[in-house]
Structures are given as C-alpha cells and as structure tokens.
Structure 1
Amino acid sequence: MASKGKDPALYTLTAGSIAGAIEAAITYPTEFVKTQLQLQDGSKSAMTRKGVPAPRGPIDILITTVRTQGVGAIYTGLSAMIIGNTAKAGVRFFAFDQFKDLLKDSEGKTTGVRSVLAGLGAGMTEAVLVVTPSETIKTKLIHDGNSANPQYRGLVHGVKSIVKAEGLGGIYRGVVPVMARQGANSAVRFGVYSSLNDFLKSRMAPDSKMPATYTFGIGAVAGIVTVYTTMPLDVVKTKMQGLNARQLYSGVFDCFWKVFKNEGVLSFWNGATPRLARLSMSGGIVFSIYESVMTVLRQLDDSGPIRS
C-alpha cells in the first residue's frame, strides 16, 4: 500500500477484490475445518450425521469428512466464501485507505495508533456491509451438511431458505460478534503489517521496491498475531451463526457464558490451528497479491492515477 500519491478508489477496490477471491479459493479447506471444530458442542458423546463419534482434531475432521462425504464436502460453502471474501477484501482495503487518509498526521503519515484505528474502522465497515451475511450463510451451509437430512441444495437455495424461515435478519445473525471480530482483526492485522512495513522500508534505499518475499512474510506475521488475539470472538461468532443458535443463545453475552460454562475457557480457542494456518497464509497471499495488482494498475496508467 505504498505509492507516492493517493491511489484512486477503483484501484484499491479492484486489487482488494482480486486478492480476496484468490485467497478464499486457496485456503478454504482450513476455514471448513475451523468452522466444524467450532460448531461441535464439546460433549464426548457428540455424533456425526453418519452416527459415528464426531472427529476431535483438524486432521481427523479432514479424513472423516472425505471418507464419509467425499472430497467435495470440504468445499461446502465455498461459493459463499469466495463471493463474501471478494467483496470483503475490496471493502477492507478501500475503507482502510479512506480512514488512513483521514487520520494522517501533520506530515502526511499514518503510523502506530493511527494505523490501528484505520484498521478498526475498516473492519467494522466490512463486518456490516459484507462479512456478517456471507459468514452466516457459509456457517449454516456447513452446519447443514452435518445433519442427517441436509435441507440446503447449494448457495442460492440455502439463502432463499434462510430468508424464508428467518427473514433478512437470518443472514445477519451474530452481527455484534462479527463486528467485534472484524474490527479487532483489521486493527491488529493492519497495525502489525503497517508497523513492520514501515520498519523494513526505513532500512531500505529510497524509492526501492519491497521484495515480494518480505511482503508475504510480514503479512503472514500479521495473520499469526491476529489469530490468537481474536479467537474467542471468532468462536462466539460461529456459535451464534449455527442452525440452532436462536434456540441455544439469547444474545452475545449469553453465548459467551454458556460456552465458558459448558465447554471451558480453552474452547474459545477451538479451531485456532486451522485458523492459524489460514490467516498466516491469508495474510501473505492477500497483501502480496494486493501489492502486485496495485503495481500493475499503476504501470498501466501511463498518465498517472485516474482520480475517482
């Protein structure tokens, strides 16, 4: 995200959307496994749709799912994820750039706390506009796939069924924890990324280009830090977006309390391993592709950035 002038909104939206779509397609199996782990009720007697004990770890889930439902099952909900991630990443980078521009200091820089605040604003924006509905649909599709008699026949049918049964509010289930998670996610990720990016650039020759391996590396580090600081919010978000959430939880705090009371404090980090795998890759993939697309767009614009 480094150019001498302010990039037009179309550039950040395009680069962010492309990066989000590619990242979702590559990392989705880890998202599927993470969601499965978080949807488990924590009881030792939990059973799968096939009547066998529910798998208890990431590898066990992958093997059991492929063996009982086929390879395609680990991509259940992928279409919702790609659509959501494409829009989410576009909105995220666009919103971050707008907030960053508003929060620049007297020297025109956005560092430290200002970068964190810009990231927080970007996360809250993407949560309301994109993430909540796409995450709710993805989670319900995966949860439905575990039932003895799945009722959704794909993305379109699933959305129609959810809206018919619960109204538009049905696809905005868990909006509060999603906003909290996305705000924290973006604040931590952009804050860490911007700090490391500025640190490395300060030690490079003026006007030199950041190597792709550096961009991938600091993006991965940002993803790792994000996982462990925001995991409880992610668990509660998933629980509240399950098929039977309305019957189980009266609200966010009720969900927090019941998970803590029934499953223990460590359950707030259920799915941390696959989420770590995804976000460490995701951070590197998204930031690398974003920077690469932005470079191409700037090069194609021979007369300088087109102001939008």
Structure 2
Amino acid sequence: MNKESDILSRVAAGSAAAVFQTTVSYPFEFLKTGLQLHRSLPGAPVFNMMYPLKVYFAGCSALNVGALFKTFVRFTTFEKACQLMRDPSLPATAALSGPRLLVAGTITGFMESLWIVPFENVKVAMIENALFHSNGSQTIAKPAVDKLSATSSTRPTFHKSVPQLTAREIALQKYAKNPPLHFFPTIKEIYLTRGLRGFVQGTMPTIFRQVGNSAVRFTTYTTLKQLVSPNKALNEYYAFGLGVVSSCAVVALTQPIDVIKTRMQSKHRWTTYKNSLNCAYRIFVEEGFTKFWKGWTPRLFKVGLSGGVSFGIYQYVENLVALMRHEGYLK
C-alpha cells in the first residue's frame, strides 16, 4: 500500500470521525465548560443545567472547525513521530516500545494544540454568550462593566466632562449588553474587545492539556491494541471499547489542567486571574482542591463517547479502505 495514500485515508477517516463525534457529544462539552466557568464561591447560585436544546450546541461550530485542523495534524504528526521514534536496529514492522510511544504522543499533542487554541477561545466565548442570554441576567458581563466604569471614573481631569472612551471600551460596553451567539460575530467581538491576544488566551494550559490528552490516549490505546490484536487489523467494536478506556484515563489525569484552561479562556478572565498559576492558586484557596475536577462527569461522557466513536469509525473506514484495495477497487 502506498504510504502517502495510506496517510490520506487515515486523515479522511479521522476527519469524518472527528466532526461526527464532536457534534454528537457536544452537549456534554457545553455542560463541562459551563460548570468550569462557574465559580463555586460562598453564596454563589448553583449552576443551572437546564436549557433549551439549541443552547447546548452553542460553540459547536467553532469546535468542529478546530476539530478538522486538529485531526489532520493529529494523524499526520503521529505517523511522522512514530517513524522518527522507531528504533533503526529493529524491523520496520516491529511495534514501538512504551516510552517511544509516549514521546510520539507528546509530540502529537503539542503540534495539534497550536492549531486549536483560537477555536477553543471562540468556543468558550460563544458558550458564555449563550449562558448570558439564557440566564437573562447581567452576572456574566458585570465584572467587565464594573472594572471599565471604575477605570473611566478615576481618570484625572481639570473640569467636568463626558468621559472619552476608547474604541475597545465602547466595544466592551456594546457586547456586555448584547453578546453575539454565532461564529463569525463572536470572532469580531473577541477582536474588538481583546485584540489578537484574545485568540491565544490560555495557550500554555491548552498545550499542556493537549500534550497530556494525546500522550495518555495514544499510549493507552496503542498499548491495549497491541495486547488485544498484535498481528492483525483490529475489529471496529474492539476499537470503540479501547477508545473509551483510553479516554477514561485521559479524564482522570488531565481534568485539573482542563479547568484552568477554561478559566483562562473566559472573556472576562482579565478581571479575575493574572495568569495560569494565579488561577490555580485562587481555585485552590477560594473554591477548594476538589474543584479542580469540576465538570469531570460530562467530560467523561464527552471524551469517552468521542474517543470510542473516533477510534471506532476510524478503524472501520481504515478496514474498509484496506478491503477495497485488496479487492482491486482502489489502487
């Protein structure tokens, strides 16, 4: 089988699986993000989990676009990383050892994280905007408005005059009152209120999370695959089950990083946290150690379902392409 066409078939299979599983499992992503954005401070109301159906898909478009980029980078990079880490003294068909698999998965996670950060920021902003409209309150936008008012009122003047607001402050006031709900208007909101840096908020925790996700997922999945079916193609049902198991390991080990990532990508992060370390410290002191696992239940459903479906569909399409090549329908 031609190596380049084999990689393309893997990318096509992975892209189809990524869009499908992202859409199907997105309500869990919405609940996970909403729970993580909610600060469990004394006297704070409990996070409302009941919304109209369309609200549960707020930000799905941003995540789907990001998933296409992520999947392309994931499968192409993992293939190249495995070739790079292969021991030249062993046969080309020999399986990679555990440590080499871990390094290949880490490289893959780092590369794909660079592509998804902007789309993660758009997704979080779209979810915050949807929660604002659904809850019918000013509580989400209030910190930014309060801080803006305080900044404007403390400017030194020699006479009474109408405060002159900057373009960014005008945009903040506009979007605080009526935040957009759709993909491109949200991109415009981020650019006008936060500039280009608004698309790269939470880069470091996102990189750490993606590196952890890919390292744990690919290492666990490939290791189990080598144990279950070392010498032949894996059945898609086994692939689904192994994908679920590997996803459970991902949630258990990377949830605290995911919570910090979500908080750092909030549109009002600048009113609350200085940096990722400050965010982690304030969560620990103000909310408690267990809050680092906020949203773990919907994330477990989301990541478990998405991992199982992704690997299951990927293996099914890969087996189908291999069969069609064997039968002579494809070259």
Report the Cα distance in structure 2 between the residues aligned to 1:123 and 1:244, rounded to whole angstroms: 27
Map of 1:50 onto structure 2:
none
Map of 1:9 onto structure 2:
7
Report the Cα distance in structure 1 between the residues aligned to 2:249 and 2:5, rounded to whole angstroms: 28
Aligned letter for 2:17? A
Match of 2:81 among 72, 93, 99: 99
| Alpha carbons of structure 1 residues 6 and 113: separation in structure 2 relative to 1, 3 Å | farther
Compute the displacement of 1:226 (Å): 0.6
1:14-51 Cα shifts (integer Å, max 9, x gaps): 222111101101100100000011000112433xxxxx
Report the Cα distance in structure 2 between the residues aligned to 1:4 and 1:264, rounded to whole angstroms: 54
72-81 or 10-19, which deviates more? 10-19
Alignment of 1:43 onto 2:41:
yes
Query: Which secondary structure does the structure 2 equivalent of 1:169 belong to?
Result: helix
Map of 2:71 onto structure 1:
89
Report the Cα distance in structure 1 between the residues aligned to 2:178 and 2:290, rounded to whole angstroms: 30
Report the Cα distance in structure 2 between the residues aligned to 1:236 and 1:26, rounded to whole angstroms: 25
Compute the displacement of 1:176 (Å): 0.2
Map of 1:290 onto structure 2:
314
Map of 2:278 onto structure 1:
254
Stretches of structure 2 lacking an aligned partner (at least 5 in a row): 138-176
Report the Cα distance in structure 2 between the residues aligned to 1:4 and 1:144, rounded to whole angstroms: 47
| Alpha carbons of structure 1 residues 305 and 250: separation in structure 2 relative to 1, 3 Å | farther
Aligned letter for 1:82? N
Map of 2:193 onto structure 1:
165
Compute the displacement of 1:278 (Å): 1.0
**Aligned residue pair count:** 283
Map of 2:212 onto structure 1:
184
**How is 1:217-236 mapped onto 2 (pairs within 5 angstroms)?**
217-236=241-260
Report the Cα distance in structure 1 between the residues aligned to 2:196 and 2:8, rounded to whole angstroms: 29
Contact 1:8 1:305 in 2 (8 A): no
Provide the TM-score with structure 2 as the length reference. 0.80
Compute the displacement of 1:231 (Å): 0.5
Higher Cα radius of gyration: 2
Map of 2:57 onto structure 1:
75
Compute the displacement of 1:150 (Å): 4.2
Report the Cα distance in structure 2 between the residues aligned to 1:213 and 1:4, rounded to whole angstroms: 26
| Alpha carbons of structure 1 residues 153 and 29: separation in structure 2 relative to 1, 3 Å | closer
Compute the displacement of 1:282 (Å): 1.3
Query: Which secondary structure does the structure 1 equivalent of 2:46 belong to?
Result: coil
1:263-294 Cα shifts (integer Å, max 9, x gaps): 11100000011111111111111111112222
Compute the displacement of 1:297 (Å): 3.4
Map of 1:49 onto structure 2:
none
Stretches of structure 1 lacking an aligned partner (at least 5 in a row): 47-52
Contact 1:144 1:243 in 2 (8 A): no
Match of 1:154 among 179, 182, 189: 182
Alignment of 1:270 onto 2:294:
yes
Report the Cα distance in structure 2 between the residues aligned to 1:121 and 1:24, rounded to whole angstroms: 23
Map of 1:120 onto structure 2:
106
Query: Which secondary structure does the structure 2 equivalent of 1:192 belong to?
Result: helix
The two structures, once aligned, show a CA RMSD in angstroms of 2.1
